[in-house]
Amino acid sequence: MTRIVVIICSLVLVNVVSFGVSANEPDASDLCQGYYANMATPPAAAQEWCDKGSYFSWQSTLPQNAAFEPLNIFHVCEGNPEDPAILLIHGYPTSSYDYAPLFERLRDDHYVCALDTPGYGFSDKPFDDFDYSIFDDAQLVDYYIREVVGMVDFTLVTHDKGASVGFALLQIYQDYDERPYTINHHVITNGNVYLPLAQLTVGQQALLNPLAGPLASSLLTGQQLATGIDEFFILPLSEDEIAAYASIFDYQDGTQVQHEIIKYLDERSVNENDWLRALSRSDIPTTIIWGEEDTVSPVAVADEVWANYLEDRASPASYWRIPCAHHYLQVDQPDLVIQILSISAEADSVSEIAGVDCAATRIHHNMGE
């Protein structure tokens, strides 16, 4: 039986596309491979990520999106499906590409998967009032687990906006009478999972404004967005790295939907209490991993969630901090993140992990009942 570790589609038949494969599939020239083929000097890292991936079709579950054609959803899986597997759910405004450093380190002894939700990465980015929704994303991930990659036994790992998708997925999971898969661990990394303590940037606030948001999106370029996220890494991104991120943001004019996809924060605000209550009653062992240098999702966010929803609940939970990591801890300190995942999966009693730049510390641990 395949065991899957998951980091973070309506009922339709899956049409999986691997580049250059068969007849009845979308033309690769319309997907990310064609996008880079038309560039004189495509960013090597982003093109390589595109080439690793495949596509499947997904019809939104929302009635207000019924008029839209099924979307092409990009995903990457590497490793042996018989090994413990990892699927990563990305955050805003980036994509599965955030997890390239983890894929590189995990694929030899894990099965690692990640997908881009609509509006992000190399997945379709529809305009014309398409309703981007956390709940729809959670239905997509549930479908992906069951029907696309056939995951049976896994751990859920999420980052940033992906944490909200993970919480909505948790509700779906808890509502099943007979669960079609088992989530054996739930890992939450830096994200605005408690909005009253979030420190949104000026740019995020502008995009959320109903009047200023569309204008801000229309003026935004991939280069500007990539340069803007640079401050959320411990080390400055190189020119090549910025070019890679910029090209992914620009795929299908993705910068122009930023005011739409950031509305997940409004949806989170409405549903936050329900999602956190679902976390507090979850029977899945849970681990928080937080980069301490984060300025947009400060450690106070993780402290709040731990103290009020995990510290005294019935099932086990742990809280780790990495002092030499910023918001994108999976890029800043991938080796420490992987070691924490390993320790968490094995319920190990280790409370400190030495790294090259700093030591990760487990500051809280709830053994459960």
Half-sphere exposure of 227 (CA within 13 A, CB side): 5
pLDDT band per the 50, 70, 90 thresholds, residue 10? very low
First to last CA, the chain: 28
Q: Using an 8 Å Cβ cutoff, are 133 and 238 in contact?
A: no
Contacts of 219 (CB under 8 A, 6+ apart): none
- 319-356 pLDDT, tens digit per residue, is 999 999 999 999 999 999 999 999 988 777 889 999 99
Rounded to whole angstroms, the Cα distance separating 213 from 277 reads 31
Q: Directed axis angle between helix 161-175 and helix 134-143, to 10°?
A: 60
Q: What mean pLDDT is predicted for residues 85-104?
A: 96
Residue 295's identity, in one-letter code, is T
The predicted pLDDT at position 348 comes to 75
Strand, coil or helix: 69: coil
Q: Which of 255, 125, 270, 129 lies closest to 203 in space, CA to CA?
A: 255
Rounded to whole angstroms, the Cα distance separating 224 from 249 reads 10
The predicted pLDDT at position 29 comes to 65
Q: Using an 8 Å Cβ cutoff, are 181 and 87 in contact?
A: no
151: which 2 tokens?
């995951």
The predicted pLDDT at position 8 comes to 39
pLDDT band per the 50, 70, 90 thresholds, residue 20? very low
Rounded to whole angstroms, the Cα distance separating 354 from 147 reads 39
pTM of the model: 0.92
Q: What mean pLDDT is predicted for residues 162-179?
A: 96
CATH fold for the domain made of 4-366: Rossmann fold (3.40.50)
pLDDT band per the 50, 70, 90 thresholds, residue 162? very high
State the virtual CA torsion across 136, 165, 159, 259 in degrees, nearest 10.
50
Residue 78 has pLDDT above 80, yes or no: yes
